[in-house]
Structure 1
Amino acid sequence: MTARAGITFVPRLLPAPEAAAYLGVSASKLATLNIPRKELGAKRLYDRLDLDAYASELPYEGDSQGDEDAAACDRAFGITR
């Protein structure tokens, strides 16, 4: 049995595949985003609070900041229209 078998909440520190799933992007897309990682021995982990902060800073579609901000958000998530 692994240490995470009974966890029913999102851990604070996440490896890349789980961090990507948390944001709803691919692991390769996550690697291109400017989100810092923490070091824990040889592991490189994403802090859930940093992931939340990144997502919170993205503009909403149709926001009054203009079409360019929406296009930047689409590019950040790899969406082409």
Structure 2
Amino acid sequence: MGKMDLSFQPRLMSAPEAAAYLATSQTVLRSLPIPRKVQGARRVYDRLDLDAYAASLAYEGEVDEVQAWDKRISG
């Protein structure tokens, strides 16, 4: 049985699929704090965990603004 052309994003993804989903490399993906699930002998990424990680990232400028605010209030 060959690979099917899916019209939806699968819930569980291999490292290459998860890396592509997050638009990053497999090396970077493996260094991120994203848990993997066990599916038989395979280690897979859950799309919901990938989405949660992406949602937790700061928007451009937010990190700088938070750091600047921390400096102002800490004196």
Measured against the shorter chain, the TM-score band is 0.7 to 0.9
Poorly superposed stretches of 4+, deviation over 6 Å: none
- Find the aligned partners of 1:8 and 1:16 in 2 and give their Cα distance: 19
Q: Which has the larger radius of gyration?
A: 2
Spell out, residue by residue over 1:1-48, the C-alpha distance to the aligned partner (whole angstroms, 9 max, x if none).
42x414111000000000000001000110100100000100000000
Identity over the aligned pairs, expressed in percent? 56
Structure 1 gaps, min length 5 = 68-81
Question: What's 1:46 paired with?
Answer: 45
SS at match of 1:20: helix
Spell out, residue by residue over 1:41-79, the C-alpha distance to the aligned partner (whole angstroms, 9 max, x if none).
000000000000000000001124247xxxxxxxxxxxx
Task: Name which structure has the greater RCO, CA cutoff 8 Å, separation 6+.
Answer: 2
Structure 2 gaps, min length 5 = 69-75
Total equivalences in the alignment: 66
Q: Which has the larger helix fraction?
A: 2
* TM-align CA RMSD: 1.5
